[in-house]
A and B are shown apart, each in its own frame.
Chain A
């Protein structure tokens, strides 16, 4: 008798007691052991995202399950309004991914792949540069920035944000002091006209000084992926939509070069045609790349 496709809402806590919500979807199979052998994709959302956000986070899990793979999508502490309420410190997302990997390993999954979308790709890369786990077989990095702080600085200048990147950096230093992570002070700040030229609120960005400092500030080393990608030994697939207006074409190629130079030859960079920042705009091409990766690097 077949075990049918199954969806489960799972909650677990990180080692610092943050509550993680996640959606586990397992493919149809003949027996439980078989399910655990099938590759599982752990998916991480982008900025202000969550596992039901439109595009890749929402569409990819079901597309993969239909093709016989398992997925688990997780909400990190940066999901939803984490960067606005102050709890979404980028560096701490490493604990969120730790907990998710621990959960999946505890369940018995042997072939875990981590896919990060946009900011989630930075989270996945940061995690992999600091962790090794026998059951984690590879990384898929969709829309990965070379350096999130540099990208933000450039975009703020392009659109004429208020405050400017430099003004916010100075104010953040003044508010947070010498030890930003442990600072007892923090405040919400709004960047007007930081994301685009139109006059709608979606052209603005909201952070706290602390969340901004660790995600986009001039000393946000964890999101400067070029600084730590050389430490990743896992096979990597970097995908970018050819019409992506956020990540420039040179960025994944430059990151791959850093990784290869340090000895990791299992790095593949692909442009997805007819897609923007969200590669699921061309789902056939994206799925082909992902399935190739999952199949090639899974343990038999």
Chain B
């Protein structure tokens, strides 16, 4: 039997009435190390969690090269999108709390890294900057396979596969929750399934599930938080953007435009890399790890 013993310790960070679960890897023992080397705060992608198979080896790779990491679950982890509590904007204070925790643990520098939706969260948090707790230690952002605009990406994909229901049908239904007509009670939040959302069959793997509220904040036309291009220009720390050349969800032009927004806004440290891979970087995690390490070493060694 093939067994993998993963490094790291599962911890819980108290937050409001619940706890943020996280995986802490590569705990350093020297104060000098903690002060000088950044810790990498990793954010999961859509429906992901701290045990995700995608990139789960990255914490070990980072630890082997002297970088600690904390992989956290947000409200959008696991079932958040399906049962109404995974509201995109509500993840920001959670990320702040994790940064605060790392600060209290002694880390002076934090780099936030995310894949897909995780990249959206990282950039949104960095753009909100000083409005949120724990931000002053954030010294860099790594956004992997991150869309230019999550709502546009999802709308385009649903249209491509002739989703049932359509994007506009869901928008009309969600408006009854958020913008009821005069004299009308707001409708209840409820889950819904979109068939043929990212493939041309009715199979579960080609379907998506949200509630009207979670969809509104993540994918609806008025979901400001996930329109990454609107926030990119306000990120003042170094940014690493990585794109998978064979990504069937994101276009290369989105990635290029996102970098341009950052540079046009005056960010002098924007790095962009392509990798010959699909959206999940399957089979190319070593290369992705090396790109990440090089970028970190160039700035923080």
Q: Which residues of B contact A200 (CB under 8 A)?
A: 84, 188-189
Q: How many residues of B contact A (CB 8 A)?
A: 34
Q: Does B165 contact A (CB under 8 A)?
A: no
Smallest beta-carbon distance A135→chain B, Å: 15
Smallest beta-carbon distance B286→chain A, Å: 18
- Nearest A residue to B194 via CB reads A188
Query: Which of B4-12, B96-104, B125-133, B249-257 is the interface stretch?
Result: B4-12
Q: In the docked arrangement, what's the CA distance between A75 and B52, Å?
A: 12
Q: Which residues of B contact A199 (CB under 8 A)?
A: 188-189
- Pairwise interchain contact A187-B8, C-beta atoms closer than 8 A: no
Q: Which residues of A contact B205 (CB under 8 A)?
A: 85-86
- Pairwise interchain contact A9-B204, C-beta atoms closer than 8 A: no
Q: Which residues of B contact A240 (CB under 8 A)?
A: none
Q: Does B231 contact A (CB under 8 A)?
A: no
Query: Which of A98-106, A116-124, A214-222, A246-254 is the interface stretch?
Result: A98-106
A9-B8, A187-B195 are known contacts. Are A204 and B204 too (CB-CB below 8 A)?
A: no
- Pairwise interchain contact B202-A201, C-beta atoms closer than 8 A: no
Q: In the docked arrangement, what's the CA distance between A4 and B144, Å?
A: 39
Partner of B47, one of A7, A81, A188: A81
- Pairwise interchain contact A52-B21, C-beta atoms closer than 8 A: yes
Smallest beta-carbon distance B221→chain A, Å: 22
Partner of A10, one of B5, B83, B203: B5
Which residues 188-213 of A have a CB within 8 angstroms of B?
188-190, 192, 199-202, 204, 206, 208
Smallest beta-carbon distance B76→chain A, Å: 13
A10-B5, A11-B6, A201-B83 are known contacts. Are A187 and B188 too (CB-CB below 8 A)?
A: no
- Pairwise interchain contact B203-A8, C-beta atoms closer than 8 A: no
Per-residue 0/1 for B248-269: is the Cβ within 8 Å of any A Cβ (1 yes, 0 no)?
Answer: 0000000000000000000000
Q: Which residues of B contact A32 (CB under 8 A)?
A: none
Q: Which residues of A contact B82 (CB under 8 A)?
A: 81, 84, 201, 206
- Pairwise interchain contact A80-B79, C-beta atoms closer than 8 A: yes
Per-residue 0/1 for B174-204: is the Cβ within 8 Å of any A Cβ (1 yes, 0 no)?
Answer: 0000000000000011111101000000111
Q: Does A157 contact B (CB under 8 A)?
A: no
In this complex, the member of A8, A10, A11, A192 whose beta carbon has the largest number of chain B beta carbons within 10 angstroms is A11
Per-residue 0/1 for B36-49: is the Cβ within 8 Å of any A Cβ (1 yes, 0 no)?
Answer: 00000000000101
Partner of A50, one of B9, B23, B78: B78
Q: How many residues of A contact B (CB 8 A)?
A: 37
Q: Does B51 contact A (CB under 8 A)?
A: yes
Smallest beta-carbon distance A109→chain B, Å: 14
Q: In the docked arrangement, what's the CA distance between A199 and B177, Å?
A: 13
- Pairwise interchain contact B84-A202, C-beta atoms closer than 8 A: yes
Q: Does A19 contact B (CB under 8 A)?
A: yes
Which residues 49-102 of B have a CB within 8 angstroms of A?
49, 51, 53, 78-79, 82-84
Partner of B5, one of A8, A84, A192: A8
Q: Does A145 contact B (CB under 8 A)?
A: no
Q: In the docked arrangement, what's the CA distance between A61 and B10, Å?
A: 13
- Nearest A residue to B6 via CB reads A9
Q: Which residues of A contact B1 (CB under 8 A)?
A: 12-13, 99, 102-103, 106
Smallest beta-carbon distance A118→chain B, Å: 16
Q: Which 5 residue pairs spanning A and B have beta carbons closest together?
A: A86-B204, A201-B84, A9-B6, A199-B188, A11-B4
**Given contact pairs A13-B2, A185-B202, A190-B193, a sample of 12 additional A-B residue pairs in the complex whose CB atoms are under 8 Å apart:** A7-B9, A9-B23, A23-B10, A84-B82, A85-B204, A190-B192, A199-B189, A200-B188, A201-B83, A201-B190, A202-B84, A204-B83
What are 7 contact pairs spanning A and B, CB under 8 A? Answer: A8-B6, A11-B3, A11-B6, A12-B1, A190-B192, A190-B193, A190-B209
